Structure 1
Amino acid sequence: MVYWYRYQENQTNRIQGQQTVTQSVLIYPDNIKYSDDSFYGIGTITDTGKQIMVYGSDAKRVKRYSKPIIMNVSGVVQPFDEARNFNQFDAKEYYESMSVYSRLTVKQLNSVEVQHRFSIIDSLHYLRMLMLKYTNQLPHPLNLYASSLFLGVMDNSFNDELSGVKTLGLIHLFSISGLHVFYIVNLLKMILGLFRVTREKTRWATLIFLPTYFVIAGSSIGLMRSILTVEIGIIALMLKKRLTSLDVFSITLMANLLIDPEMLLQFGSQLSYALAFGLIYTNKMRPLKQTVMMNLVSLPFIIYKLFQWHALTMLANYLVIPIFSALIMPMILIAVITYPIAGWFSSVVAFILNSFDAAVNWLGALPGQINFGKPNLYVATLLLIMTLVVIDKVSFKRVSLLLCMYLITFMYIHYPLQGEVSFFDVGQGDSILIREPFNHSITMIDTGGKLQFGRRQNSKVTYQAEKTSINYLKSIGINHLDNLVLSHQDADHTGDVPAILADLKVDRIIVGDGLQNNPSIMRKISPYLNKTKLVLIKANQKLPDFPFNIYHPFESGLGKNEDSVVLGTIQGNRSWLFMGDLPSSGENDIMHKYPMLKADYLKLGHHGSDTSSSDAFLKFIHPKVSIISAGRNNRYHHPSVATLERLKDNNLAYVNTQKLGMISYKYGLLGNHWIFKLQGE
């Protein structure tokens, strides 16, 4: 009932389209994140009280404040973009689960002033900001540990430096939850005990302090669950009511749903409650057995959301958790508190943490990363239920059944009955996946990408392929490519090559002859040539284990549009033709060289621009469906009106990533059909 009410309320908060506005937004500096000269964070519109994500470019002006600020801004408000590729992180879904329905891009920061009204929440956020500034002064990496463990802040530097923590599934140690609340509550009891405060007053102090700590520590879902659990337990003691662990869990879940009905839509919340439930039934097990069972509880969530799991995760948790609980946490707490009077101790702790990081990162780099892929939701649910059955009573038969379920799921993902031809939505660019049934052959044509205009020299390069194509490949169990074809030099086709080569095993990089003389391309691929092979091709050349006909280029070139690689293939008893960015002059050459060439499905050249897809070529190929890969609102206005008119005049159907998001054609034993990310089948 509560969820239905909140759902109906949320429908009224959604906006349609863009709106140009001038409005005031209250935002807490401790919730603001910075990237080069830009900032972003969730704020509250002062007139309506609605939350909104704010993006701005004047970071220096905002960064000087510690107290809550009110920004008067002029800008554009619009809804979040939904995920445009299958299995891509959905920002719209994520933020709506937090009751944030729109984003504000600041065009003009009119004024910034400190919020002068007094409120406890504002004061707590100010205190948190001061604590963040304090932790930033600590020796590295103690500063990262302190801000994540006690204030709930994990920025990009944390993810970069402690990559092994994420790989080995140890991130829960840094996500403020039960372990941290346990330490805080016991520290509070110890302090009050020194002043001979009675047990009754200590309980009242704990009840009052924990909501305060909830704000200071970042207000995460896992923290809310832990605090509610402790508070419900204390209230039961004060009322002299006996509650079992399952009673406390159930009341906590109900209370959390009343406070935030949508919280169970978040991955972190689902995992937190699943692990808490698992702990109830494993708390009497031996440590090793409990570690195994708790990892089994988390596994369906991990592979469904993250697609990967490291074989050393269980061992790492078994070894690291006791060390972290008994040594690392207390050591960090003491170092943080004593830093002003004993800086030497903080330096010693920082040195120990450096060694700890190195050990964890080394362990995470060992072979054992299993790219499981994403199981069907119903399958993941069955795996979780079967895991709980095993925990209820461990037996050889039950464990064997669970292992068989995982094995069958793994085989189904990695040896699919269907093949596919998929066109990723990479914005203004091309990236295409062609994989045959049972993954007999896996080829990617182009990677997408963009020119890194205006990027600071020392700033980190980001690749959209990490969120689009690579993420999708991992979700379908692919961690290697047989062939990576680069059609030509342009950044919107090859800009994300480094990300693909760094993240996936690639057997061959296939390029048009002459592209090896292009310094821009070679800078991208040279660092990886020790683990892949560069293959040069021309028209009519035959390559072993390459399920394509090569129709272009006829001559060597440096990779300009007119040098584009053009490939044809038969997939699902349908003929396909991929044109790269080949202009009309190249199309004329192909018509002359291959007078019998036809294709059922044609990927239009150059994103549907007026310089490609001539009327003569469209009549010559006469495809059943043409595919256009172009970005929304791109500055080139692709596809051109003239091209669309030519398609219409020739009665040719077309699909466009601009409108439909990622486009996939699935074929095989289960039939042939198109799937569009934004419109289903």
Structure 2
Amino acid sequence: MRGYLCFIAIFSLLIEVVLVTKFNWLSLVLSLIFLIRLYFLKKNTLFLTSCMIGLLTIAFFYLYEGANQTFLSGGEKHAQLTVLPDTIRINGDQVQFYGELACDQTKKTEKVMAFYRLKNEAEQRYWLGIVSKLRLVVDGELIVPENNRNLGQFNYRRYLAQEKCHWILRISAQKESRLQQKNIGTISYRKKLFRFIDQRLPTKVASYLKALLFSERTELSEDVVKNLKALGVVHLLSISGVHLQFLLSRVNYFLVRLGFTLETTGYCLIVFVPIYGYFAGWTVSVFRAILMLLISLIAKKLRLKWSSLDSWSIVVLFAIWLNPNSVMTLGFQLSYLLSFVMILLNQNPLKKKQTPIIESIWISLVAMLVSVPVLVCHFNEFSWFSIFANIMLVPLVVHGLIPLLVVLLVGLFLIGHTILYTGFISIVQFFLVTFERLIDEVSFRSFYLIVTGVPSFYLILITFSSLVVFFLAWESRKWTLTTSLLVLSSFLLLSLQPFLQPYGKVVIIDVGQGDSLLIKHPFNKGNYLIDTGGAVHFKQEKWKQKKDSNQKIAEKIVIPTLKAEGVSSLEKVIITHSDMDHMGALIDLAKEIKIKELVFPKGGTAKKAFKEIVHQLVKKEVKVTEALKGDVLFQTKTTYLKVVYPFEKGIGENNDSIVAYGKIGEFHWLFTGDLEKEGEEQLIAMYPSLKVDVLKIGHHGSNTSSHDPFLHQLNPKYGLISCGLNNRFKHPRPEVLQRLEKYKVNIYRTDKSGAIHYQFNKKGKTVGANVFETILK
């Protein structure tokens, strides 16, 4: 059966995809085609074994699904909670962690994601020091995790479900706490190691050591991660076979020098590998790399003829049996797909005829080609520069940075208090600073990344098919121009997808308690953003301060939404006024998305925070325009948008908001920013015959806006409200909703429905069965 195990593994993997995708037609067709292929191999044992393992895979799936159910009702208010110390994350005065919630009625425990607001700095230090399981008695509220509220946004509910977690617990009171007895099952030695490293090493050095040797990336600089992602080499931060081979070669060398025999050394490595897996966190890539290596070591000890492909096949089966849902994760798809392709490349006889440089270029090219369709499906973008970045950075990290960090870690335990070791830390720190400067210099994020938007299903199918044809041609040594052009054409279509979209869109992005609105013209002929959203900051003690929430809004909401729509640059960003909930995410948005022109009301820079942001954008050579009534924001044959307010210079307050009126699709629209009663009165006095079809309700539905005379004159058919779920201001106010209902306005709210979409074609006609589509149905 050796040499054919991959057929069994691939068939079981296809069956798993059928089950996880709820019998998607394409996965069914692919499974059937593969089964027919197995049958025509005319190897009865292989065919029957594949079918039996396939049935076993189905059984494991339904066993897993049966166990991955919640027994909690959601009404539990008081319970015992066991904290899992490895999962504790602290951000300012908020701590989050996975915990095991015990229900008194059923006597069962269930995994939940818990959030708790810390009361003081001493309590924060206490949570930072926890390395053992902690048992709490808590009061709180169970909440169902949300689905994504915007296109392209991370789906938190799906992620937690993959982690066998179905509830979020908001802890309101912690009544009792008790550390469990410290035995090997309750202490997190991984966390103890990290605490030891943090206490002895500078922050930057510690963060790289934990990331590259133990898969703990949470403390790495976000700019470093973004730069590596833009270059297409973020995989350097994941432990792979290359990492392990280097580490094992060092351990092997060390044991041999100590006088161990080769046989004893082999047994030591078999013990060392799973222990290292524990400290590396058993992530998807760690599990694959370590289990493959462990199987190979055991096979070598037993003198079995066992290939890397056989090891890969066994690990695939274990992985999909243990967690069927993992097949839909990016980590699984990239780790197993790339390792499979690399194994096939190493077995090809053509490899022996290549020079090391050509081999490196070829491997980088193949890795990029294979990973692009996967990355596009998850992130709606890919980096064309990854071939060159891999050639440049992989040797630097694998043969330079990792050896330094290994020596640093060993030295920490042996000579950690000596002057020699302190000098070595300085050398490593210098190396890391140089490394960061290098990737920062070569990383021009928007230049390297090709934004595709949410890819067409058929385009992804064509791309994968062309790659399969290309690799089959390469393996048979029939290099033809046709297969190369086929791959090139499919990638070109993928890259040009945003420019082939015949429909335009208006999208009210759900940014919580704020405003952000995208107007996208057909065929990508102009993209405009009205406001960026942002978080209002309140003065807090230093220990309470969280990571920049405006950065979070840009990175987690606005940027993914724009990229899902195929937007890589904006003709104009229109900031209606200088309040933080309308412009707070602007500077972080500009780091990822090219902004050609910034428009804001004249006098908007009277507010210091906005003035500083404008100054930074001017340095980036963004054109700056101060707008007043009469300015045209855009105009095409069928659409236009112009400024109808303010009439004079202001100071960036609500009644200085830019109000934009225009025709988009079949409707006349009015976007009002945070315009209040006084501004509304001035507007209808200036334009006594103004009528609109769609009104963006002012000030998130506050009672200071949308008054009777204003609504009476405009007579809108649709009202769009951008506000946060359960926001502290209780927007939209009941009085406003009553007035809108009085004038028979059809109301759409982001807090209830998520992002709101309107689609139109180049002729200005509405597209779709419904006028407006929402993300949360």
TM-score (norm 2): 0.81
Name the CA shift for 1:240/1:675 in 2 (closer, same or farther; >3 Å): farther
**Corresponding residue to 1:532 among 594, 601, 622:** 622
Name the CA shift for 1:541/1:209 in 2 (closer, same or farther; >3 Å): closer
Matched, 1:433 2:518: yes
- 1:634-657 per-residue CA deviation (whole Å, 9 max, x = no partner) reads 222222222222232333212111
Q: What is residue 33 of structure 1 aligned with on the other side?
A: 89
CA distance in 1: counterparts of 2:209 and 2:582, whole angstroms: 42
CA distance in 1: counterparts of 2:695 and 2:304, whole angstroms: 71
Contact preservation (8 Å) 1:23, 1:45: yes
Contact preservation (8 Å) 1:164, 1:362: no
Matched, 1:55 2:140: no
Name the CA shift for 1:366/1:38 in 2 (closer, same or farther; >3 Å): closer
Q: What displacement does 1:337 show?
A: 0.6
Name the CA shift for 1:8/1:620 in 2 (closer, same or farther; >3 Å): farther
Q: What displacement does 1:372 show?
A: 2.1
**Corresponding residue to 2:548 among 461, 473, 476:** 461
Q: What displacement does 1:373 show?
A: 2.4
**Alignment gaps of 5+ in structure 1:** none
Contact preservation (8 Å) 1:136, 1:143: no
Contact preservation (8 Å) 1:297, 1:388: no
Matches within 5 A, 1:494-643: 494-530=583-619, 531-542=621-632, 547-643=640-736
Q: What is residue 349 of structure 1 aligned with on the other side?
A: 428
**Corresponding residue to 1:452 among 537, 546, 549:** 537
CA distance in 2: counterparts of 1:399 and 1:589, whole angstroms: 64
CA distance in 1: counterparts of 2:335 and 2:483, whole angstroms: 25
Name the CA shift for 1:447/1:643 in 2 (closer, same or farther; >3 Å): same
SS of residue in 1 equivalent to 2:748: strand
CA distance in 2: counterparts of 1:138 and 1:241, whole angstroms: 44
Matches within 5 A, 1:132-151: 132-134=195-197, 136-139=199-202, 141-151=204-214
**Corresponding residue to 2:376 among 291, 303, 312:** 303
- The one-letter amino acid of 2:367's match is M
- The one-letter amino acid of 2:170's match is T
Contact preservation (8 Å) 1:80, 1:91: yes
**Corresponding residue to 2:149 among 84, 99, 104:** 84
Q: What is residue 70 of structure 2 aligned with on the other side?
A: 12
Contact preservation (8 Å) 1:72, 1:112: yes
Contact preservation (8 Å) 1:442, 1:482: yes
Name the CA shift for 1:529/1:618 in 2 (closer, same or farther; >3 Å): same
CA distance in 2: counterparts of 1:130 and 1:112, whole angstroms: 24
- The one-letter amino acid of 2:310's match is D
- The one-letter amino acid of 1:295's match is M
- The one-letter amino acid of 2:133's match is P
CA distance in 2: counterparts of 1:206 and 1:244, whole angstroms: 19
Q: What displacement does 1:185 show?
A: 3.5
CA distance in 1: counterparts of 2:519 and 2:441, whole angstroms: 35
CA distance in 2: counterparts of 1:388 and 1:32, whole angstroms: 43
TM-score (norm 1): 0.91
**Corresponding residue to 1:159 among 207, 212, 222:** 222
- 1:13-64 per-residue CA deviation (whole Å, 9 max, x = no partner) reads 5765x75334222322x43222234332223335634222232324212123
Q: What displacement does 1:263 show?
A: 1.4
SS of residue in 2 equivalent to 1:50: strand
CA distance in 1: counterparts of 2:298 and 2:608, whole angstroms: 69
Aligned length: 676
SS of residue in 2 equivalent to 1:540: coil
Q: What is residue 767 of structure 2 aligned with on the other side?
A: 672
Q: What is residue 186 of structure 2 aligned with on the other side?
A: 122
CA distance in 2: counterparts of 1:605 and 1:158, whole angstroms: 38
Q: What is residue 3 of structure 1 aligned with on the other side?
A: 61
**Corresponding residue to 1:108 among 169, 173, 181:** 173
- 1:286-310 per-residue CA deviation (whole Å, 9 max, x = no partner) reads 2321221112111122233233433
Q: What displacement does 1:161 show?
A: 4.5
SS of residue in 2 equivalent to 1:81: coil
CA distance in 2: counterparts of 1:186 and 1:386, whole angstroms: 38
**Corresponding residue to 1:218 among 255, 259, 281:** 281
Q: What is residue 373 of structure 1 aligned with on the other side?
A: 452
Matched, 1:316 2:389: yes
Matched, 1:281 2:330: no
Matches within 5 A, 1:228-307: 228-238=291-301, 240-283=303-346, 284=348, 285=351, 286-307=359-380
Contact preservation (8 Å) 2:243, 2:398: no
Matched, 1:645 2:738: yes
CA distance in 1: counterparts of 2:158 and 2:472, whole angstroms: 34
Contact preservation (8 Å) 1:608, 1:643: yes
Shift >6 Å, 4+ stretches: none
Name the CA shift for 1:476/1:26 in 2 (closer, same or farther; >3 Å): same
Q: What displacement does 1:118 show?
A: 2.6
CA distance in 1: counterparts of 2:138 and 2:330, whole angstroms: 33
Contact preservation (8 Å) 1:162, 1:361: no
RMSD, aligned α-carbons: 2.8
Contact preservation (8 Å) 1:549, 1:569: yes
Q: What displacement does 1:411 show?
A: 1.7
CA distance in 2: counterparts of 1:245 and 1:433, whole angstroms: 49
SS of residue in 1 equivalent to 2:221: helix
Q: What displacement does 1:436 show?
A: 1.3
Matched, 1:398 2:483: yes
Identify which range, 348-357 or 155-164, moves more after superposition. 155-164
CA distance in 2: counterparts of 1:628 and 1:71, whole angstroms: 41
- The one-letter amino acid of 2:695's match is L
Matched, 1:383 2:463: yes
